[in-house]
């Protein structure tokens, strides 16, 4: 992988991180490559999200997220 490709992924990840950060504390639906989850977005990190469902945290790798929608 060239440096240009690495930099492009870093920029895209930064936008995703910033977008997810703006909806922390809200109910969300997260579609992943394995299915969908519905709960409260608790934390956003550069490599994962934490969605709380029935008082239990679910850690979702950012690379597995297809889309996120506030409810």
Please give the chain's pLDDT, 71 residues, in tens.
445 544 445 555 777 788 889 999 999 999 999 999 999 999 998 888 999 999 999 999 988 999 999 99
Rg of the chain over CA atoms, in angstroms? 13
Nearest-CA neighbor of 30 among 15, 46, 42? Answer: 42
pLDDT score, position 12:
56
pTM for the full model? Answer: 0.79
Confirm if 26 and 40 have CB atoms less than 8 A apart. yes
Domains of the chain: residue spans and CATH: 3-70 (2.30.30.100)
pLDDT score, position 5:
47
pLDDT score, position 19:
86
Confirm if 62 and 47 have CB atoms less than 8 A apart. yes
Long-range contacts: 48-53, Cβ < 8 Å, 24+?
Answer: 49/20
pLDDT score, position 8:
47
């Amino acid at each position: 992988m060239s440096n240009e490709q690495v930099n492009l992924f870093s920029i895209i990840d930064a936008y995703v991180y910033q977008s997810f950060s703006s909806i922390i504390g809200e109910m969300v639906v997260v579609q992943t490559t394995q299915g969908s989850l519905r709960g409260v977005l608790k934390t956003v990190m550069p490599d994962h999200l934490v969605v709380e469902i029935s008082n239990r945290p679910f850690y979702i790798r950012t690379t597995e997220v297809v889309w996120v929608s506030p409810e």
